[in-house]
Structure 1
């Protein structure tokens, strides 16, 4: 037997406790067939073997982002980047919209993403009238960085048949001018989802989806971008039907450079029930193990459901997209009965407690089923929440780098409760399983930045927020590898560099264990290897 790929002279950190370190690794047919010292594997090199002499570079299991939005990210290149890195004022944002309008066809949609109201120099919200001036004849939607609300112009409201007489949708709200009652263009939660998100809309969206071939090309480019960060797999945490088709197209064409776990919105659960399609279907490239439920809003969007309200507005308890505990119980029971993971988006303590109530009831009614239910984000924790999660064997998927990205707004929004957010160490100490996630493009996608943030608890401002929640570098890397594989029920085939497992690896130019933790995000990705093939190589 000769290997197709042979790594030599490497510092291989396997994340496998039975053999944590090695120098050489061999791959055949996309699987790891040997791992050991250089001399032990030297005879596996044949005339057709690709040999990588890594000159003491560090090799790890490639990163797995357990909660990412690849389908949304795929369309980022087709929309206006309104992030603070691109525009730091409403004036600049409107200039960007006007520039796009000037080259657009009459009536063509102008779509912007990643707008952050807290980082605009005018210190006010974008509104309908602003967008009307920049784009009087084209419909416009600008989606907030939280992904839970948006601002549209008058042309868009007209297409959606929304006016001052429109009522708030269930689980959402229409923003209004407090003095006149007229719509100000803000669409909150289900008001936005029904308007623009195919993954959650109960009817065809007002903002049209992109065509199939455009989606396919965009998804390839987005996946390659993630490869550049060392990522070999993601869970698409709110996958619309059109992208299930897209991932299938790419899998059949063998054009998908990473692995995708599809998390399907619960509004499509009845289709799976009618088909009798039990959870955990697919293969190592495209599979589905979970069903997504969104119970509340966003931490950065000021819409998470809180028992005691927000620090800056105690009467604002956020938004519940599912207000009735009985309704949530019934949905979770159906998911549990089909042996899918209930992947429940819950940020606020109120939403988390409702989610745990529903999971507990489902387990009591069908104790023989053991899907690994998850609380996505699981931000506003309490000691009782931790205790219940451990008792119910519920996983947590907190944000990895939100502290870096949004640290400056947490205390104004949440006061001392901000110290309990993104509590990786508290979860571990309570015996709760944790996997790392970015929530990208809502969050920053770099796994290395996420790792640095979990280890240092440092925001971009330099502030250290609750150092008691720091975790070890070993645990941080496990959250992006072994624990992330466990989060999708795939720990037997990936997450560690072990014999027989998928040959998904990342090569780094520095050893994270040998540098100050504040420098982890500066480490360079040299290669990303998926299925034994080099899908990314850094150009010197």
Structure 2
């Protein structure tokens, strides 16, 4: 295929795609199989470096139970009681809506059908009596199940990923990193079977020993953090088995524990910090010293700023979801959505990185810096941004405008077409 009249780095060119690669970039390449870009910008395909595919696929048919869609108890009760039958699955709940709801609250205020609601942290499920009965749980009287996704799963073991894949293609996404900490052999094989075209990197548990799975996901939370000795040994063991680690670090305490353990174990090129949500200058310098990669979520500042202002200590707010400081300090930075806990649209996240909420502008990025967070190589979030050049893999995204217009409002971008390995997987024209 030939992509004609595409803007590549500000210059109109034709691009020849052959055998999964960009084989020629020139003027007036002839051929009958072509796509006319009409002067719009062509960029490398985007990579979401932090996503939960199965959860996101299920969330498509779930009810949003938290901010910004739902802000109080009355709205939540109304939403839960919309007509329907079978399982009701809610997502995104936050205690600011109706407090610490439980089984009794759902039995009283919800419909007479099985209900399970996920807290937006991803760690907590709240079930009503009907749901608890169906999953065979009679040991959790309050219906609040922590870190127990396997017990809550009911019915089909894995969701259909096709609708989600089509949505990701429409954003210009050509690859993802699947970061769910409970990923094991069954999950891995399901992803490999169902995700045919998308470049996918899968991290997970220590028993996920396929050579292609190169990351152990370390996923601990306050207030139940392990000892320094235990997490240090986990890191050492992963490294000894040829794996990198990717550590969940939202709070200051989580990050400090992981950094101390990495320093003790000895970091390995490719080790990652996921989120780094609260990071002061001291911690940024420590991350730089250990030569770690940070994978952040710029979208959360836009999605959750009101909650952060209420819940995060004043002295920590300047350290929330920093971006520019990482780049200025030489820390390698990439981005992912953390969908379904965050918006899966990368253009929304990029706009959020450029136009931060009032009071948080100091960490804003330029449009080009924001875009670069999604151009890192599929299997190396710390690598150099991919470019459109001869010999490169033909993973491409055609925007709906030239870059000079797109950079002024990234949230207005609606890609026209997406190619993976030279194959057209999304065509917005049709």
Structure 1-normalised TM-score? 0.73
Counterparts of 2:308 and 2:208 in 1: how far apart (Å)? Answer: 39
Structure-2 change in CA distance of 1:457 and 1:484 (3 Å): farther
Counterparts of 2:201 and 2:208 in 1: how far apart (Å)? Answer: 18
1:219: which partner in 2? 161
1:294: which partner in 2? 219
Counterparts of 1:138 and 1:249 in 2: how far apart (Å)? Answer: 33
Q: Decide which of 356, 370, 379 is 1:457's aligned counterpart.
A: 356
Q: Residues 227-250 of structure 1, C-alpha deviation per residue, up to 9 Å, x if partnerless? A: 111111111111633432222223
Residue 439 of structure 1 and its aligned partner are, at CA, apart by 0.6
Q: Residues 450-475 of structure 1, C-alpha deviation per residue, up to 9 Å, x if partnerless? A: 111112213xxxxx232221122222
Contact 1:342 1:373 in 2 (8 A): yes
Counterparts of 1:144 and 1:326 in 2: how far apart (Å)? Answer: 30
1:208: which partner in 2? 154
Q: Residues 286-316 of structure 1, C-alpha deviation per residue, up to 9 Å, x if partnerless? A: xx221111122xxxxxxxx4xxxxxxxxxxx
1:131: which partner in 2? 106
**Higher mean displacement: 504-513 or 527-536:** 504-513
Residue 150 of structure 1 and its aligned partner are, at CA, apart by 2.7
**Any runs of at least 4 consecutive aligned residues in structure 1 with deviations exceeding 4 A, and if so which?**
83-89, 134-138
Residue 436 of structure 1 and its aligned partner are, at CA, apart by 1.1
2:203: which partner in 1? 263
Residue 349 of structure 1 and its aligned partner are, at CA, apart by 1.1
Residue 147 of structure 1 and its aligned partner are, at CA, apart by 1.4
Contact 1:400 1:436 in 2 (8 A): yes
Structure-2 change in CA distance of 1:335 and 1:22 (3 Å): farther
Residue 326 of structure 1 and its aligned partner are, at CA, apart by 1.1
* Larger Cα-atom Rg: 1
Counterparts of 2:427 and 2:387 in 1: how far apart (Å)? Answer: 21
Structure-2 change in CA distance of 1:124 and 1:136 (3 Å): same
Q: Decide which of 321, 341, 349 is 2:244's aligned counterpart.
A: 341
Counterparts of 2:79 and 2:169 in 1: how far apart (Å)? Answer: 29
Contact 1:223 1:257 in 2 (8 A): no
Residue 405 of structure 1 and its aligned partner are, at CA, apart by 0.3
Structure-2 change in CA distance of 1:247 and 1:431 (3 Å): same
1:250: which partner in 2? 194
Matched, 1:438 2:332: no
Q: Decide which of 354, 371, 376 is 2:274's aligned counterpart.
A: 376
2:45: which partner in 1? 62
Residue 271 of structure 1 and its aligned partner are, at CA, apart by 5.3
1:399: which partner in 2? 297
Aligned partner of residue 304 in structure 2, secondary structure: helix
Q: Residues 305-350 of structure 1, C-alpha deviation per residue, up to 9 Å, x if partnerless? A: 4xxxxxxxxxxxxx33x32111111111111112222010011111
1:526: which partner in 2? 416
Aligned partner of residue 113 in structure 1, secondary structure: strand
Structure 2-normalised TM-score? 0.90
Give the paired residue count. 425
Counterparts of 2:407 and 2:375 in 1: how far apart (Å)? Answer: 21
Structure-2 change in CA distance of 1:413 and 1:95 (3 Å): closer
Counterparts of 1:432 and 1:484 in 2: how far apart (Å)? Answer: 18
Residue 124 of structure 1 and its aligned partner are, at CA, apart by 3.6
Counterparts of 2:183 and 2:208 in 1: how far apart (Å)? Answer: 13
Contact 1:227 1:257 in 2 (8 A): no
Aligned partner of residue 426 in structure 2, secondary structure: strand
Structure-2 change in CA distance of 1:382 and 1:34 (3 Å): same
Matched, 1:236 2:134: no
Q: Decide which of 21, 24, 29 is 1:34's aligned counterpart.
A: 24
Counterparts of 1:85 and 1:456 in 2: how far apart (Å)? Answer: 19
- Structure scoring higher RCO (CA < 8 A, sep ≥ 6) equals 2
The 5 A counterparts of 1:116-515 are 116-118=94-96, 120=97, 124-134=99-109, 138-157=113-132, 159-163=136-140, 183=142, 185-187=143-145, 191=146, 193-194=147-148, 197-198=149-150, 205-208=151-154, 210-211=156-157, 215=159, 218-238=160-180, 240-241=183-184, 242-250=186-194, 256-264=196-204, 266=205, 269-270=206-207, 272=209, 277-278=210-211, 281=212, 288-296=213-221, 305=222, 319-320=223-224, 322-363=225-266, 370-414=268-312, 415-458=314-357, 464-482=358-376, 486-487=380-381, 495-514=386-405
Give the gaps of 5 or more residues in structure 1. 14-19, 165-182, 199-204, 282-287, 297-304, 306-318, 365-369, 459-463
2:93: which partner in 1? 115
2:426: which partner in 1? 536
Aligned partner of residue 438 in structure 1, secondary structure: coil
Q: Residues 361-385 of structure 1, C-alpha deviation per residue, up to 9 Å, x if partnerless? A: 2227xxxxx4400010011112221
Contact 1:435 1:483 in 2 (8 A): no
Counterparts of 1:151 and 1:465 in 2: how far apart (Å)? Answer: 35
Residue 225 of structure 1 and its aligned partner are, at CA, apart by 0.9
Residue 515 of structure 1 and its aligned partner are, at CA, apart by 5.5
Give the gaps of 5 or more residues in structure 2. none
1:17: which partner in 2? none
1:311: which partner in 2? none
Counterparts of 1:222 and 1:336 in 2: how far apart (Å)? Answer: 33
Matched, 1:53 2:36: yes
